[in-house]
Structure 1
Amino acid sequence: MPKTAKSSALPFNPDAMLEFVEYPDHAENTQKQYITVARTFLHWCADRGLHPDHVTATHLQRFLDDRGLSRSSQLTYMQALSALYGILQDRGLADDNPTSSWSVQYRKKKGKPGPRVAKRLPTVLDSDEETRLLAAIPLESPLPFSVYRKRVFLHLLLFTGLRVSEALSLTLGQVRLEADPPVVRVIGKGNKEREVPISPTLQVVLEGYLERRQRFVRNGNWLFSTAVGAPLTRTWAYTTVSEAIRGAGIQKPAYGPHVLRHTFATRQLRAGIAPAIVKAWLGHEDLAITFRVYEHVIAAPAGVRPV
């Protein structure tokens, strides 16, 4: 799709982003309808200087209100937007799917459930696939720093569940290895700060990385950067994660950074960590969002069988 003259001044190019959007698993009429909604929504965001990754439930409701839609049409739009955000997450272009929190906010505001948005189960690595991924990205052998940096980034996502934007924006001072216990201090959605514990395994990885980083990065304060200190991009992150998962011989419906975030969350819940704690680690605005995304794990822990 051609770029318009207006696009260069926007926070993102909506037509370029639309090139990633396709719905091969849907009927032809549904595909056309979803593409139309996606195009309308992305241009609505761009016209307001709003990147899709910064959209909240409030923005979604404002978008729907601007359309003057009936309740049934709202459901169709939200299903289309939920599918759109699934694609943007898979491609590393958005951290969260705000349609989940929209349903929660609608219930609080109206005092009744919002139109139920169809959802898909999050793509995760099972324990065997996690083992295969880690075996495919060893840190022990001599590695070029660019390869070593990618593998440390993968470990960070897999063992903290950070959003890709949060991981890419980490500075050296936010990694508190000297704290008891060690934590990553994260600035998340809405500029809200939280602390995510660093496991003993990840602590060893980060200690080794910080020591080696001093020899290869000349300037800058970003945890992950180029040799001259420039921050790395979402495209780099998506390529790093997708190539690693595919390289381990793992086949999934999605390969983006969010797969590792979902894997982290699922691992914690299956280990018996309370949903409220997992919610805090993930930086979800509302516990109801955690329940909605991981309902299938919370309701049926690993090993539980009907009697």
Structure 2
Amino acid sequence: MSRIDVNRFGEMEVFVRVVEMGGFSAAARACRMTPSAVSKLIGRLEARLGTRLVNRSTRKLQLTPEGCAFYERSTRILADLDEAERNASSGEKPAGRIRLNTNASFATHILAPLLPEFLAKYPDITLDIVQTDAVIDLLEERTDVAIRAGPLKSSSLIARKLGATRMTIVASPGFLERFGKPKTIAELEKHNRLGFCYARIREGWPFVHEGEVITLPVTGNVQVSDGEAMRQLAIAGVGLARLAAFTVREDIEAGRLVPVMENCNPGDLEEVHAVYLGQGGPLPARVRALLDFLAERARVT
């Protein structure tokens, strides 16, 4: 079969959607295909390339090293294609108001430093930024784009992955001086552990103990509604906090916070996505501009 007979861009789009949505079923809904058709397409793509891109299991998909490389190149190629098509068309100018919903940590540590660049690039766009860690209904809240941290539930939303960050337990030097730095789970149980006051996928902190991952309940005397408030409480010496690495990296470098129990850290990652409603036809240029900018510049690590 010649290359002209293969819809390589179509294959790339489906493959990228499978990766970003974490499975065949979610990608099938977004692409308006059946899960079987998506699976067969990926199989044909792997056969044509002569290498396995995805390791399949009943619970999740995992990219092979070749799959990771192909995903990175595919996203760049598709972005270049989109830009070429926009430049060749009449060129709708990105303008108007965008309502963006985001958690406080992403807004503080990722979004805020990039806003001057985005607004300078698109002077006719106005942003309404709403900060909350609660999961909202985009349609009901009239929201164009939302930032979601953690596993995505199955829905009609389309997602673009912005990265993944390691979780780590931290405390202030003053707190550790008063109460001691825990080195074992038994010692950790005696310390004040700050928690969140909303439902989370994992109700507790995971640790590696004797070769297995166990979960320690959070039983502190303070619960908060967002990660940035918890970070401030940890800096103030109120207790231990388990937070995303990108939110505390500068605090650790500056000595405001100290990593704790790293020897028992399971190394789990929290993924961050930009989600939006995309089933009703082409996206407005203003929304597309924001999504492309976040995908390129707001890389979460």
TM-score (norm 1): 0.25
The answer to which structure, 1 or 2, has the higher relative contact order (CA under 8 A, 6+ apart) is 2
Higher helix fraction: Structure 1 or Structure 2?
1
TM-score (norm 2): 0.25
